Amino acid sequence: MGQTLLKISHLHKKFGDRVILKDLNLEVKKGEVVVVIGPSGCGKSTFLRCLNALEDIQGGEVLLDGEPVRKDASNVSAMRQKIGMVFQSYDLFPHKTVMGNILLAPLKVQKRDRQEVEREAVELLGKVGLADRRDDYPRQLSGGQKQRVAIVRALIMHPEILLLDEITAALDPEMVHEVLQVVLALAKNGRTMLIVTHEMAFARAIADRILFLEDGEIVEESGDPKAFFEKPQTERARQFLRSFEY
């Protein structure tokens, strides 16, 4: 694990008067997988959305490779190309085929060569097990398949970091596995990722580091996921984890 890729310092986020994130600090190193967990409404998703400037921030800064990511900056498109994001509801473009979804940004934004991008797209689709679905429309796919396409759509941009925002939360249980397998394979290949999830077993398996977020604050941070899940240090994390037991 190498140098710092993403540096978040004193991040403040408010919606009107409501404070969502208070003075958040985090460094993500190249190749690291950081998993953010916490109760609903604790600000996890907003946190991820601040990192690629889908939300403006009221204080602090987000640096990628030492360069600020800001919603109002003129280089926001260039910065977002380095930050891949996959959403809970997949959000493929319904009027485009699988291939059309994947090719849009590399061709129109990065102006890459069509043949080269197509070759890469086919290869990536093969890796996620969807080689034969390239000409299907999103409505012809299952949720798990859509989410795998969304991952490919993000990967083809060659992002330096991948943000995954509860990517299995909208899936039927039997489809969660196929998506998480893809993410596990990415982690094995050294992909830097910041993951928000409610799948605790998955978090434990994939995380290099766990952040427990509550009320817009990092309540507990642990570089040892196994220890965190077995013996959390704070009472609030303990309570939260207990809510997953039956």
Partner 1 sequence: MQSLGIDVLFKGTNFIRLLGGLWVAVRISLISVALSILLGLVVGVLMTSRSKILRALFRIYLEIVRIMPQMVLLFVVYFGTTRVFGWNLAAETSAVIVFTFWGVAEMGDLVRGALISIPKIQYESAEALGLVPTQTYRYVILPQTVRRLIPLSINLVTRMIKTTSLVMMIGIVEVLKVAQQIIEANRRVSPNAAFGVFAVVFLLYFLICWPIGRLAAYLEKRWA
Q: DSSP states of the chain as a string?
A: --SEEEEEEEEEEEETTEEEEEEEEEEEETT-EEEEE--TTSSHHHHHHHHTTSS--SEEEEEETTEE--TTSTTHHHHHHTEEEE-TT----TTS-HHHHHHHHHHHTS---HHHHHHHHHHHHHHTT-GGGTT--GGGS-HHHHHHHHHHHHHTT--SEEEEESTTTTS-HHHHHHHHHHHHHHHHTT--EEEE-S-HHHHHHH-SEEEEEETTEEEEEES-HHHHHHS-SSHHHHHHHHTT--
The span of 27-35, 72-80, 122-130, 220-228 binding partner 1 (CB under 8 A) equals 72-80
Q: What string marks each residue from 209 to 228 as x (binds partner 1 by CB under 8 A) or -?
A: --------------------
The span of 10-18, 33-41, 102-110, 202-210 binding partner 1 (CB under 8 A) equals 102-110
Closest CB 175 distance from partner 1, rounded Å: 20
Q: Does residue 110 bind partner 1 (CB under 8 A)?
A: yes
Determine the interface stretch with partner 1 among 108-116, 120-128, 140-148, 169-177 (rule: CB under 8 A). Answer: 108-116
Exactly one of 37, 85, 152, 180 binds partner 1 (CB under 8 A); that residue is 85
Q: Does 87 bind partner 1 (CB under 8 A)?
A: yes
80 touches partner 1 (CB under 8 A): yes
Residue at token pair 């916490």: 38
Residue 146 makes contact with partner 1 by CB under 8 A: no
Piece in contact with partner 1 (CB under 8 A), picked from 39-47, 90-98, 184-192, 238-246: 90-98
Q: Which of residues 43-62 bind partner 1 (CB under 8 A)?
A: 52, 54
Task: Give the footprint of partner 1 on this chain (CB under 8 A).
Answer: 52, 54, 77-78, 80-81, 83-85, 87, 89, 91-95, 104-105, 108-110, 153-154, 157
